[in-house]
């Protein structure tokens, strides 16, 4: 099959056009797959979620979704995948708790590229192990979208931890491969996915792993996950949300003071960094204004997280800084 979007293909801008696309894809998927089984790595990101929802409509339980919780997802994400796909859509979902496996492999590793490689390789190992347990799989579904093809040397191809596992030689099912991101979102909406899945901000494949700067420790990772949830909740109350907003937690400590029985005691704690950026292409990035009151509300909650005693706001643009801290 060609990898070029047909010129005749209309841009999917409305729910009616999305519904037409869904109906066509359901017929195509059924014709391609027949009564065979399809495997899908379901991260909970927009693309894999839309592919899952489409395949569930087309072939129901012939789709086997595998959700690998590597411990580097944001607060509430693994639970939401189970809730939406298993409980609400009645999908055949295998939830793999691989948290210890990933964190043990990452222990003591501080080089960013090595961390990424470990996360990517371990993801493939876990996914391949789950695939080997399944009988009768003949197809592998993927959330490839058109920019992944046209910019295949781009961000996703370079970064994503969830590429085609080597050694898993299945025929591919890629129903959204000619769609742009905005089209995938319209389709996701019509398929009934929740807004916070359909419109979610970009999130790196290696997840919080690239934001827990340096060697990941469980306590610092948990502090980051809590801080990230606070920042997302507060920023989402603003009339306009930036393109991407999150926290990083550098592997540094600074002095804090706490009062015990009226006596001030100095101690060492972590600093959480708030990052919010605007961009159209992730190449050039500006930093939007965040109301000082919002910053203070976030600060007041973040300093209550165990181990954290300082909150910083990163106002660096790209270039010179990158969006992520690693």
Q: Which of residues 267-296 bind ligand XMP (CB under 6 A)?
A: 282
Asked if residue 159 binds ligand XMP (CB under 6 A), the reply is yes
Q: Is residue 163 within the footprint of ligand XMP (CB under 6 A)?
A: no
Q: Should residue 205 be labelled a site residue for ligand XMP when binding is judged by CB under 6 A?
A: yes
* Residue 38 contacts residue 59 (beta carbons within 8 Å): yes
Span interacting with ligand XMP, options 167-175, 205-213, 228-236, 263-271, rule CB under 6 A: 205-213
Tell me if 106 sits within 8 A of 153, measured CB to CB.
no
Segment lying near ligand XMP (by CB under 6 A), choices 77-85, 152-160, 224-232, 234-242: 152-160
Residue 144 touching ligand XMP (CB under 6 A)? no
One of 118, 131, 210, 298 touching ligand XMP (CB under 6 A): 210
Q: Single out the segment in contact with ligand XMP by CB under 6 A; choices: 170-178, 190-198, 287-295, 315-323.
A: 315-323
Per-residue contact flags (x/-) with ligand XMP for residues 15 to 44, judged by CB under 6 A:
------------------------------
> Shortest CA distance to 206 belongs to which of 144, 162, 267?
162
C-alpha dist (Å) from residue 220 to 76, 179, 207, 274, 276: 18, 38, 14, 15, 20
Q: Which helix (H) or strand (E) holds 144?
A: none
206 binding ligand XMP? (CB under 6 A): yes
Cα 185 versus chain centre, distance? 15
Is the CB of 25 or the CB of 160 nearer to ligand XMP?
160
Pair 230, 302: CB distance under 8 Å: yes
**H or E element at residue 253:** strand 253-260
CB of 48 to ligand XMP, least distance (A): 12
The stretch near ligand XMP (CB under 6 A) out of 154-162, 212-220, 258-266, 295-303 is 154-162
CA 324/CA 326 separation, integer angstroms: 5
Q: Is 244 in the site for ligand XMP (CB under 6 A)?
A: yes
**Nearest distance, CB of residue 203 and ligand XMP, angstroms:** 7
- Part in contact with ligand XMP (CB under 6 A); list of ranges 5-13, 192-200, 202-210, 307-315: 202-210
Beta strands in 205-299 (DSSP E): 244-248, 253-260, 263-277
Q: Is the dihedral of CA 270, 275, 281, 286 positive or negative?
A: negative
CB of 235 to ligand XMP, least distance (A): 15
Rank residues 37 and 232 by Cβ distance to ligand XMP and give the closer one: 232
CA 319, distance to chain mean position in Å, is: 24
Neighbours of 312 (CB within 10 A): 15
Closest distance of CB 196 from ligand XMP, Å: 17
CB of 38 closer than 8 Å to CB of 139: yes
Closest separation between CB of residue 325 and ligand XMP, Å? 8
Asked if residue 202 binds ligand XMP (CB under 6 A), the reply is yes
DSSP state of 11: P
Tokens 């600093």 -> residue:
271
Residue entry with tokens 């009062």: 259
Contact 39, 94 (CB under 8 A): no
Q: Which residue is nearest to ligand XMP (CB)?
A: 159
Quote the CA–CA distance of 326 and 320 in Å, as a whole number. 13
The residue among 202 and 256 lying less far from ligand XMP, judged by its C-beta, is 202
Interacting residues with ligand XMP (CB under 6 A): 116, 155, 159-160, 202, 204-206, 210, 244, 282, 318, 322-324
């Amino acid at each position: 099959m060609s990898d070029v979007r047909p010129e005749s293909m209309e841009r999917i801008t409305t729910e009616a056009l999305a519904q037409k696309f869904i109906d066509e894809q359901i017929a195509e998927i059924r014709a391609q797959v027949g009564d065979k089984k399809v495997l899908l790595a379901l991260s909970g990101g927009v693309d894999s979620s839309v592919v899952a929802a489409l395949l569930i409509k087309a072939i129901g339980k012939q789709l086997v979704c595998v959700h690998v919780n590597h411990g580097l997802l944001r607060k509430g994400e693994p639970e939401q995948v189970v809730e939406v796909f298993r409980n609400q859509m009645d999908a055949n979902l295998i939830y793999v708790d691989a948290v210890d496996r990933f964190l043990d492999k990452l222990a003591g590793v501080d080089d960013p590229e090595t961390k990424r490689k470990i996360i990517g390789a371990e993801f493939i190992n876990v996914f391949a192990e789950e695939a080997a347990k399944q009988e009768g799989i003949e197809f592998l579904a993927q959330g490839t979208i058109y920019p992944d093809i046209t910019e295949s040397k781009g961000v996703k191809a370079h970064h994503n931890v969830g590429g085609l596992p080597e050694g898993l030689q299945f025929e591919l099912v890629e129903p959204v491969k000619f769609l742009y991101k905005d089209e995938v979102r319209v389709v996701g909406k019509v398929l009934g996915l929740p807004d916070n899945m359909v419109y979610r901000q970009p999130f790196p494949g290696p997840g919080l792993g690239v934001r827990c700067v340096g060697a990941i420790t469980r306590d610092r990772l948990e502090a980051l996950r809590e801080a990230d949830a606070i920042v997302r909740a507060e920023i989402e109350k603003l009339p306009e949300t930036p393109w991407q907003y999150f926290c990083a937690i550098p592997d540094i400590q600074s002095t804090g003071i706490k009062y015990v029985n009226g006596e001030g005691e100095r101690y060492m704690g972590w600093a959480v960094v708030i990052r919010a950026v605007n961009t159209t292409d992730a190449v050039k990035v500006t930093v939007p204004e965040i109301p000082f009151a919002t910053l203070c509300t976030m600060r007041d909650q973040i300093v209550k997280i165990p181990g954290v005693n300082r909150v910083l706001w990163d106002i660096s643009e790209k270039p010179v800084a990158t969006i992520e801290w690693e």
